[in-house]
Chains A and B, each alone.
Chain A
Amino acid sequence: MEYNILIGGPAGSGMNTIANLIKVGLKRHGYSVYVNQEIMSRIRGGHNFFQIRFSNKEVFNFKEELDVIIAFDKLTIETHQNRLVPNGVILCDSSSEIRNNNIKYMLVNAKEIITKLKNPKALNIAILGSFVKLFDLDFEFFKKVVIKNLKNKNIELNLETFDLGYKSVGSLLKVTNKTVDNNIIISGNASIAFGAIAAGMSFYSAYPMTPATSVMTYLNKKQSDIGIIVEQAEDEISAIFMAMGASYSGLRAMTGSSGGGLSLMVEGIGLAAIAETPLVIVDVQRPGPATGMATKTSQSDLSFLLSASQDEFPRMIISIKDQEDAFYQTVRAFDMSDKYQIVVIILNDEFLADASKTIAKFDLKSININRYLATEEEINLDEKYKRYKFTETGVSPRILPGTSNIPIVFDSHEHDEYGNVVEDGLNRTKMHSKRLRKLDFIKKEMIEPEYLGLEEPEYVFVGFGSTYGAIKEAVSILNKEGYSVGFLQFGDVYPLPEKNIIKYSKYKLINVELNATGQLARLIKMETGISFDYSILKFDGRQISTNEIIKDFKEIL
């Protein structure tokens, strides 16, 4: 059993609420649920939609074919009706104009209900009632969901609205009952925020920028419960410098933005590098350049971040593939950042930032927090403390200001082992090499891309980040259809893990990316010399679907 629902309408019509209630209700019923949204950058009007796919088997991506459209306006019907499967249903208010007689409509007298009950803003609640009836879902169960999620907002009136909506239609679709539910449902950005919290991050500074803002807003809501500080900075430059001040003084600190904000943060990335101060940065990508498209998705910041800030220094870039990965990779980002005293960038994108998926509860017991600070013995090896001591790994003993009798230096200038500013050429060569040496050791800890699909494939898709679900599903469909396909999914992208890509380079390689120039393929070529045979590139600001990958693949053949 699997259904795919679209809820569409103008901004401000309560779709967020109904989408959330359906999401939570289905999830608590025990279904695997995947929710994504496509919204316009405006507060009222326009056309926004949510897609909710649910099944009693795991769903890990959105889907194009729709079983049900819940339409809040005519535009939704016009825009999406051609995506309906043959028996698909449009659920809408009975006042809607019906133009296409080949489509099944489920009409709710929602407007009548809310007028009668004098509950004018509850069109979404009436429609929710009819949705529950449409699928013959558990009425009492959803009632509880409404009570819990709407808190005290007019609850009696809303329950009556919900009830009348439920009674106003019949059942058309069948679901298999599920009751077991030990999962959570979470979006990519919330999962990053949760990972940061679990990892002991205690300071987050940022400037609002879509689609990264939700990391900040979640942390902000939780800050008093968990005793952390979230500061809204005056700009992204300030945001990264505040976080750096916190990190220097001993906190796990993070900042985040989208590409435009990252552009402003660039000088801070360089400062963290020369001062060898740990810092985690989240980049939630959207199409650019400049303002680009605020609420759309993209995988186009990779090339920029590989060398953001002048000169050369070690850094690490992790792309996250799904909502579960977002949590564990954020935890790992803090660990690697502390271990190597480097900037770690977590690459997310608008699609995954806002898309929710049911996943297993986070294994909090598996997390160890290690700050990798130097012990007194290590410090005492030298007559005078060397904050930037030349070592085999390039990692020098770090202690925190105010925790001993030793004052701690932090300088943006090139410096000697003690941190004193020097312009001596030999020292410069040694210090620059020391920093870069870390990269060799970081590289040994990089996670090789995951391989899925046939063992001896003809073609191998190569991707990174949030296209994981779409490519995975496409590979499975294509192999069932008799094609011979494999899939290499990069998580760690820099420093680039090379073993698996070298291993699979004997097959025909196809990079699947949401940018126009194949930034991942270019990175792989630069690092390994391996060239790609074909590319599937999409850069219209929308997430690539399974169908699009299949279609593009067949065109390649």
Chain B
Amino acid sequence: MNDSYKLFNTDVNISWCPGCGDFAILLAIKEALFELGLKPNNTLIVSGIGQAAKTPQYIKANNFNSLHGRALPPTIGMKVANNDLNIFVTSGDGDTYGEGGNHFIHNIRRNPNIVHLVYNNRVYGLTKGQGSPTTDLGQTTTMQLNGSYLTPLNPITLAMTLGAGFIGRAYSGDKRNLIDLIKKAFEYNGYALIDVLQPCPSFNKINTASWYKKNTYNLEKNYDPKDFYEAYKTSLNVIDHIALGLLYYKETTPYLDRLPHYEGSLVNRKWKPTDAIKLLDDFI
């Protein structure tokens, strides 16, 4: 078992609906972890709340199942504490772009060295089908009975304008490309966002597997992810010609390297209370 992705298996019962895209993403993550040579004790899976956010429970690794929208902030403290932990955030579109929107923005500004997979089914699953920040304008849901009247958020262009350096889009039905993108994201030094499109057979009757098949394509070999304007243009189409792959790439300085006096994981910090004696001078 230790010589395959199964070393990340747990015996927990999975509570996703049959046919959910999450199964494929879960498997892709475990295979990617294995192919990257990671181990349960040096891997940390972090999530908020939602169907996607159940992922940490289904992977044998360190985990941190936070509250709705609050997957990203804890990773800052985790990185400061122990940079040897390899952090993967697994959360949904509602969790990341809705409840956690402010954290999403500022996390990109901080740029911690983590991989962030957003399972984007463009609908709320756990709470039974309400519109999410990525639900299309006019699309009916269990809540938006006459169609959503909010403009959908484009996570890719948003992340680009905020300065993210690794932005990819994948489709849950294409495991091999998803695994490869996760591995590339892991190798990236900084915050890596992968927006993973997926069907929700229970609640999204529009963006189905066949819909994705028809409206997505893999980026061509000659596509240059370093060309910001080309990437921006490519990312704008989320209707009928949706690009999959590494959309945008640039080198960035990760969070810990931005801290001028950071010298390594603070769990190893040596400190005695008497070391504070030098600070008493401030009050003499």
- Tell me whether B57 and A412 are in contact (CB under 8 A): no
Which of B16-24, B76-84, B171-179 faces chain A?
B76-84
Q: Which of A379-423 contact B (CB under 8 A)?
A: 400-413, 420-421
A223 CB contacts on chain B under 8 angstroms: 261
Residue of A nearest to B49 (CB): A412
A229 CB contacts on chain B under 8 angstroms: 80, 259, 262, 266
- Tell me whether A400 and B280 are in contact (CB under 8 A): no
Interface size class of B (residues with CB under 8 A): 35 or more
From residue A315, how far is it (CB to closest CB) to chain B in Å?
Answer: 17
- Tell me whether B262 and A408 are in contact (CB under 8 A): no
B271 CB contacts on chain A under 8 angstroms: 200, 202, 226-227, 369
CA of A237 to CA of B283, assembled, Å: 32
CA of A245 to CA of B255, assembled, Å: 15
Q: B144 at interface (Cβ–Cβ under 8 A)?
A: no
Scoring A residues 354 to 368 as 1 if CB is less than 8 Å from chain B, else 0, what string do you get? 000000011011011
Q: A169 at interface (Cβ–Cβ under 8 A)?
A: no
From residue A42, how far is it (CB to closest CB) to chain B in Å?
Answer: 27
- Contacts A190-B283, A237-B70, A420-B57; is A410 near B102 (CB within 8 Å)? no
Q: A126 at interface (Cβ–Cβ under 8 A)?
A: no
From residue A355, how far is it (CB to closest CB) to chain B in Å?
Answer: 14
- Tell me whether B279 and A197 are in contact (CB under 8 A): yes
Q: B1 at interface (Cβ–Cβ under 8 A)?
A: no
CA of A362 to CA of B275, assembled, Å: 12
Scoring A residues 170 to 203 as 1 if CB is less than 8 Å from chain B, else 0, what string do you get? 0000000000000011100010001001111011
- Contacts A242-B77, A250-B82; is A222 near B279 (CB within 8 Å)? yes
- Contacts A250-B267, A365-B274; is A242 near B74 (CB within 8 Å)? yes
Which of B37-45, B202-210, B231-239 faces chain A?
B37-45
Residue of B nearest to A182 (CB): B284
From residue A312, how far is it (CB to closest CB) to chain B in Å?
Answer: 18
Q: A234 at interface (Cβ–Cβ under 8 A)?
A: yes
Contact of A225 among B105, B262, B278, B283 (CB under 8 A): B278
Contact of B80 among A203, A267, A368 (CB under 8 A): A203
Cβ-Cβ contact count across A and B, 8 Å cutoff: 184
- Tell me whether A409 and B283 are in contact (CB under 8 A): no
- Contacts A227-B269, A245-B73, A251-B80; is A407 near B41 (CB within 8 Å)? yes
- Tell me whether A400 and B262 are in contact (CB under 8 A): no
CA of A446 to CA of B151, assembled, Å: 55
Q: A62 at interface (Cβ–Cβ under 8 A)?
A: no
Which of B60-68, B117-125, B187-195, B217-225 faces chain A?
B60-68
A197 CB contacts on chain B under 8 angstroms: 276, 279
User: Which of A228, A238, A365, A407 is most buried by chain B, counting CB atoms within 10 A of its CB?
Assistant: A407
- Tell me whether B74 and A241 are in contact (CB under 8 A): yes
B49 CB contacts on chain A under 8 angstroms: 412
- Tell me whether A233 and B73 are in contact (CB under 8 A): yes
- Contacts A229-B266, A249-B82, A364-B273; is A237 near B64 (CB within 8 Å)? no
Which residues of A come within 8 Å of B, CB atoms? Answer: 28, 184-186, 190, 194, 197-200, 202-203, 205, 222-229, 231, 233-235, 237-239, 241-251, 253, 267-268, 271, 331, 361-362, 364-365, 367-369, 400-413, 420-421
Which residues of B come within 8 Å of A, CB atoms? Answer: 12, 40-44, 49, 56-57, 60-67, 70, 73-78, 80-82, 84-85, 102-103, 105-106, 259-263, 266-267, 269, 271-280, 282-284
Nearest 7 Cβ contacts at the A-B interface = A245-B74, A246-B77, A245-B77, A249-B81, A241-B73, A184-B283, A367-B273
Q: A245-B73, A271-B70, A331-B273 are in contact. List 15 more A-B contacts (CB 8 A).
A: A198-B276, A203-B77, A203-B80, A203-B81, A227-B261, A229-B259, A234-B103, A241-B77, A246-B81, A247-B77, A251-B80, A251-B81, A251-B267, A365-B274, A402-B62
**Pairs across A and B, CB under 8 Å, 28 listed:** A197-B276, A223-B261, A227-B266, A228-B266, A228-B269, A229-B262, A231-B80, A238-B73, A238-B106, A241-B74, A245-B64, A245-B76, A245-B81, A246-B76, A248-B74, A249-B81, A251-B80, A251-B81, A362-B276, A364-B274, A364-B276, A367-B273, A369-B273, A400-B267, A401-B82, A406-B41, A407-B63, A420-B12
